[in-house]
Structure 1
């Protein structure tokens, strides 16, 4: 790791982390003070996710389009590194959120640690491959706005009628959109990524242990995502069947 590059990035990381921290504090103490104590942390996490997900997608797309030499092992541009720093800061903040409020949630903590490993190795270890990582970031975060809205509605659907309506209306299209991205687009891109790296075309700049770990993390994340949304589809079917049965009676 080149120390000058590391030190020059610290101001960006620190600024982005403070940005997400301040938003979290505002959400926790000013936006959701009337929410139940067990819901306020999750709701605050959704708010910082709003400020990360869609902006990160826009930043990532812009950074990739501005790089005419992009490929699976091209050197990271300054803009791409900034996007990686932005996401690293977000996941560090959300990881802190889970460690403080949900220390037993091993699945999400593991997910965040693994995601940080991918971003950090791309940004600070190999300095190449941001194209692959940012496309994966786009696929991961393109559903975040809808997912966060759905999550907030789900949290209050039991005691707020409007939240229940939003949850009911949003669930089918959200599940469908999420399924297409995580079940089709994601696996297809990972297949292309794996095929490229297996060919050895990137071995001179991205060590095999790095890209193998990237692929392992991404495949694991996609598998868990598919299982999660599959369970949601099953629950939706059961709820609709139960409502239909009640009407018939």
Structure 2
């Protein structure tokens, strides 16, 4: 017999939660911030409530399944975590469509990510292990990234924010580089080798896993390009500061 907790549709519940958090952030937490950066700050705020919790939830869901593998059936716990992330990306997608409709890159990223989560959760009901590992690698930098983003938004008018931005940049860039530039590609390679063997095609059709790989490879490529540009900018700024000190 289904318990009350199991009968409650988790996706609408999680979406309502993220919507509530977003509204609290926009109208209360960041009410004194400039209208230009309030939406971005509210987006970072809900990301704080998704990223790190998602890492712990996904890790727990993987460990709790003794039969986990690239083609294993999704457990109820894994589906719960997928719903949690689907709700977050739906809420953040609404944010971008409303406030930044011309930001095609982020809107496309969210739509592609939702495609992967939704097909895993509701279409094939297999392969959550792979998707959740990728979720962990993507969100393990979330807390640091959101703090860095908020500091970056205020660094021009706040000495404290500028200092936080300066202190967070090197460790954030390093952690992001390891997660997205090394661990991510290595795990995707293992996915490709497994799925190309054909042993999973009776539960995960070829077009599904191929689309997953394409989306993930594109996301990792953009991430590597983004962090590379940040490293270039970081070294450029450091070089300029050193030059100024020499002149003095």
Structure 2 CA distance for aligned equivalents of residues 133 and 94 of structure 1:
19
Q: Secondary structure at the match of 1:70?
A: coil
Deviation at 1:15, TM superposition (A): 0.5
**Inter-partner Cα distance in structure 1 for 2:210 and 2:9:** 30
In structure 2, stretches of 5+ residues that fail to align are 1-5
Find the aligned partners of 2:178 and 2:7 in 1 and give their Cα distance.
35
Name which of 40, 49, 52 aligns with 1:51. 49
- Size of the aligned set, in residue pairs, is 242
* Change over 3 Å in CA distance of 1:212–1:10 after alignment to 2: farther
Distance 1:85 1:188 in 2: 26
Matches within 5 A, 1:120-135: 120-135=118-133
**Aligned match for 1:217, one of 190, 215, 218:** 215
Q: Does 1:184 align with 2:179?
A: no
Structure 1 residue 80 corresponds to structure 2 residue 78: yes
CA–CA separation in structure 2 for the residues paired with 1:9 and 1:188:
38
| CA deviations over 1:122-162 (Å, ceiling 9, x no partner) | 00000000000000000000000000000000000011111
Task: Tell me by how many angstroms 1:192 deviates.
Answer: 0.2
Structure 1 runs of 4+ with >6 Å offset: none
CA apart distance, 1:9: 7.9
Does residue 170 (structure 1) correspond to residue 172 (structure 2)? The answer is no
Q: 2:10 aligns with which of 12, 17, 39?
A: 12
TM-score, normalised with respect to structure 2: 0.96
How far apart, in 2, do the equivalents of 1:158 and 1:140 lie? Answer: 28
Structure-to-structure mapping, 1:64-103, within 5 angstroms:
64-103=62-101
State how far apart, in whole Å, the 2-side matches of 1:72 and 1:191 are: 12
TM-score by length of 1: 0.96
Cα drift, residue 201 of structure 1: 1.1
Quote how far apart the aligned CAs of 1:101 are: 0.2
Residue 247 of structure 1 aligns to a residue in which SS?
Answer: helix
Structure 1: state its 5+ residue gaps: 1-7
